[in-house]
Structure 1
Amino acid sequence: MEPLPSEDDYVEPANLRFLRRLVTVLTTVMIGGLVIVVGLLVIRYQRPAPLPLPDEIALPEGTAVQAVTYGPDFYLVVTQGREVLVYDRGSGTLRKTLALD
């Protein structure tokens, strides 16, 4: 009676070895890509996006900006004090102040 072959005697076919290595490489690349995507999302959403106020606009003292809208010839700034400030786009001067109720 012949002894059973051990695991050391097993020769892996070339195409199976290639497939095993390919799956390992693809798994590594996918894990690395996922780590990069999650890292970029965490970095991107940690800091709040600054409001793009033009440099020529001077807000009244003690106001905090909640929203900015750009029109064809004006900037509309909504403050947290529930006011709407309309600025001229060319000169940057305050045209009108509206109170929101």
Structure 2
Amino acid sequence: MSDSPEPQPIDDGLLRFLKLLVTVLTGVMIVGVVVVIFLLVTRFTAEAPALPDEIALPDGAKATAFTQGDQWFAIVTNDNRILLYDRVTGQLKQTITIE
């Protein structure tokens, strides 16, 4: 004699529900992966913003970061300054010292 309980019969309705649930979740995951891949492809193939060909930094300054807006671009230097340049002319507009 065994002390293990008899296995309970599985309800057919529950089994169909679980099968449907797994199928729907699989479909949702496939659609999600396709959307993520589509967004990555469209974002990486989009035209990047135009960068200046050459930027004249003050003597001894080395660029550590770069960012840009619609009408300007900024360079953070190793001597704790932010240099703001005009996008059209490329001329230095403002210098901000970081303390």
Please indicate the TM-score interval, normalised by the length of the shorter structure: 0.3 to 0.5
**Higher radius of gyration, 1 or 2:** 1
Q: TM-score, normalised by structure 1?
A: 0.46
Q: TM-score, normalised by structure 2?
A: 0.47
